[in-house]
């Protein structure tokens, strides 16, 4: 089972707008694959299709060789997919720790009745959830902010909480939508290190990112989208030299910061 994720001729229309146009590619297990393309190319839409937020107008999406188009996001998550968001979506009113603990939701069981009756079995589960969440905050080097309300943290720290929360679901594949957006070069280097570490944990990574140095440094393969269409797919060295890619994308790199 070497194919973690496969897209076959996926289309998405928003009314008359063909946001994703006949996109196919495969992500192999254990790889870091990047999706790049100019603003509005359809990258986030593609992520939303994969994660079950949107349903493709046509095409097939296989996750671990199972067709998942039409599934709800929570079902896809339970099967082992997790993600972060381009516009950070942390739970406001909850601490960093609670945010990450929520990530353990799919891997734990206590339901309404057990919760209402405060059954002893749930205490053990809660303890395990808490210690795993703390571990992940430590891994992201933000353990000291465990009890701080997540949305009051700095931008970089919020991204780290989001990543810890995503990892808490024990994903087999992690979708990262612009993990370095809004970060300075040091923080970006930190994120690159982190993504490599996540891959070393055996997690497949699918990444959308505008920061070319980051993408070129860490990805095994790159898919280039433009106006919803896949215009190239190859290893970073080749993509870097592809004249069409340079023309439509790399040439206007300055425009796409932030």
Ligand X SMILES: Nc1ncnc2c1ncn2[C@@H]1O[C@H](COP(=O)(O)OP(=O)(O)OP(=O)(O)O)[C@@H](O)[C@H]1O
Binding site for another protein (CB under 8 A): 51, 53, 72-74, 77-78, 82-83, 85, 89-94, 98, 101-103, 105-106, 108-112, 114-118, 122-123, 125-126, 129, 149, 151-152, 165-166, 169
Q: Which residues contact 173 (CB under 8 A, 6 or more apart)?
A: 4, 5, 27, 63, 80, 81, 82, 203, 204, 205, 206
Coil, strand or helix: which one is 28? Answer: strand
Among 24, 86, 122, 240, binds Mg ion (CB under 5 A): 86
Whole-number minimum distance, CB 44 to Mg ion, in Å?
A: 3
- Helix or strand run (H / E) with residue 61: strand 58-63
**44 in contact with Mg ion (CB under 5 A):** yes
Of residues 153 and 192, the one with the C-beta less far from another protein: 153
Whole-number minimum distance, CB 121 to Mg ion, in Å?
A: 42
**222 in contact with ligand X (CB under 6 A):** no
Cα dihedral 53, 23, 244, 217 in deg (nearest 10): 60
Whole-number minimum distance, CB 228 to ligand X, in Å?
A: 7
| Binding residues with ligand X: total (CB under 6 A) | 12
Answer whether 77's CB lies under 8 Å from 147's CB.
Answer: no
The option from another protein, ligand X, Mg ion, none interacting with 125 (CB < 5 to 8 A, set by class) reads another protein
The option from ligand X, Mg ion, another protein, none interacting with 110 (CB < 5 to 8 A, set by class) reads another protein
- Measured between alpha carbons, how far is 202 from 31 in angstroms, rounded to an integer? 9
Among 44, 84, 99, 169, binds ligand X (CB under 6 A): 44
Count of Cβ atoms closer than 10 Å to residue 41 Cβ = 24
Q: Which two tokens stand for residue 221?
A: 């393969």
- Measured between alpha carbons, how far is 51 from 71 in angstroms, rounded to an integer? 9
Among 5, 42, 166, 167, binds ligand X (CB under 6 A): 42
Given its phi and psi angles, is residue 141 left (phi above 0), alpha (psi -120 to 50 degrees) or beta?
left
The option from ligand X, Mg ion, another protein, none interacting with 152 (CB < 5 to 8 A, set by class) reads another protein
Residues at the contact surface with ligand X, assessed by CB under 6 A: 14, 17, 19, 37, 39-45, 86
């Amino acid at each position: 089972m070497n194919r973690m994720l496969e897209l076959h001729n996926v289309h998405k229309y928003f009314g008359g707008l063909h946001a994703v146009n006949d996109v196919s590619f495969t992500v192999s297990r254990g790889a870091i694959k990047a999706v790049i393309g100019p603003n509005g190319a359809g990258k986030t839409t593609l992520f939303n299709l994969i994660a079950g937020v949107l349903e493709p107008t046509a095409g097939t999406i296989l996750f671990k060789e199972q067709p998942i188009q039409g599934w709800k996001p929570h079902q896809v998550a339970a099967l082992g997919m997790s993600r972060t968001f381009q516009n950070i979506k942390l739970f406001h009113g909850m601490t960093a720790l609670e945010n990450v603990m929520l990530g353990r939701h799919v891997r734990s069981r206590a339901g309404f009745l057990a919760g209402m009756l405060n059954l002893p079995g749930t205490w053990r589960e809660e303890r395990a959830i808490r210690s795993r969440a703390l571990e992940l905050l430590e891994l992201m080097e933000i353990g000291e902010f465990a009890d701080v309300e997540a949305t009051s943290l700095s931008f970089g720290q919020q991204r780290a909480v989001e990543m810890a929360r995503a990892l808490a679901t024990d994903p087999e594949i992690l979708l990262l939508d612009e993990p370095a957006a809004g970060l300075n070069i040091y923080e970006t280097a930190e994120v690159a290190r982190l993504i490599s570490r996540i891959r070393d944990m055996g997690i497949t990574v699918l990444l959308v990112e505008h920061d070319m140095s980051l993408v070129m440094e860490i990805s095994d393969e790159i898919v280039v989208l433009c106006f919803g269409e896949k215009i190239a797919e190859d290893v970073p060295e080749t993509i870097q030299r592809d004249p069409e890619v340079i023309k439509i994308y790399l040439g206007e790199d300055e425009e796409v910061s932030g």
